[in-house]
Amino acid sequence: MTRIIAGRAGSLRLEVPKAGTRPTSDRVREAVFSTLGSWNLLEGVRVLDLYAGSGALGLEAASRGAAAVALVEKHPQAAQVAARNARTVRGAFGADAPSVEVVRSSVQSYLEGADPAQPWDVALLDPPYDLAEPELAANLAALVPLLAEGAVVLVERSSRSPEPERPAGLGLIREKRYGETALWWLERTAGAEPAQP
């Protein structure tokens, strides 16, 4: 079982797809959102959750004050679960619910077609552990022009995975390990092509 840890939808249970996803543990999610909170990157921000699975990461952000969240997931069953979970979380808010969009698409297709005039403040990538490193590098390169100034990117991988290859415009802030999980925090740097207004 997965649940929303804190915020307006705190303690609500979320569905998890029967197969094909690897939910982030409560311990790691709490660490992720403690970090984002300490950086003032929760209230009123725009959050992009790539390889969203059940949507737990993006929906945790919505519960904790994000203004807009997009959940990008290509697998049909997982996308349906994410959509149901989004309705559950938005239901905890009433009239002032954040915007939550579920997009059924591959991550690369979504990024290549996204509107840079609507930049993201936070991007969360929790790809399957078997995702090839060149594909992850292509995702990160396509993401850079869609990021707001000062945006941060989280990449969650197996602790046995190499450090993700970073494109120009993303710098490493910190790396943390939690058992089998490694987190790389990246920041949009001055060398990045700015998102178009």
What are the structural domains, with CATH classification, of the chain? Answer: 2-188 (3.40.50.150)
Compute the distance between CA of residue 40 and CA of residue 44 in angstroms, rounded to an integer.
10
Mean pLDDT of the region 153-165: 94
Mean pLDDT of the region 115-140: 94
pLDDT at 191: 56
Q: What is the mean pLDDT of the chain?
A: 91
pLDDT at 153: 98
Report whether 31 contacts 105 (CB < 8 A): no
Mean pLDDT of the region 82-99: 92
Phi, psi (degrees; rounded to nearest 5) at 193 = -70, 125
98 pLDDT band, cuts 50/70/90, is very high
Q: What letters, b where the CB count within 10 A reaches 16 and e where it falls short, cover 97-107? A: bbebebbbbbb
Q: How far is CA 115 from the centre of its chain?
A: 17
Residue 20 predicted with pLDDT over 70:
no
Compute the distance between CA of residue 12 and CA of residue 104 in angstroms, rounded to an integer.
24
Pairing, β 46-50 against β 2-3: unpaired
pLDDT at 195: 45
Mean pLDDT of the region 33-60: 96
Report whether 52 contacts 73 (CB < 8 A): yes
For 131-149, write each residue's pLDDT tens digit.
Answer: 999 999 999 999 999 999 9
pLDDT at 83: 97
Report whether 81 contacts 24 (CB < 8 A): no
Compute the distance between CA of residue 30 and CA of residue 33 in angstroms, rounded to an integer.
5
Q: How many angstroms separate the first and last alpha carbons of the chain?
A: 41
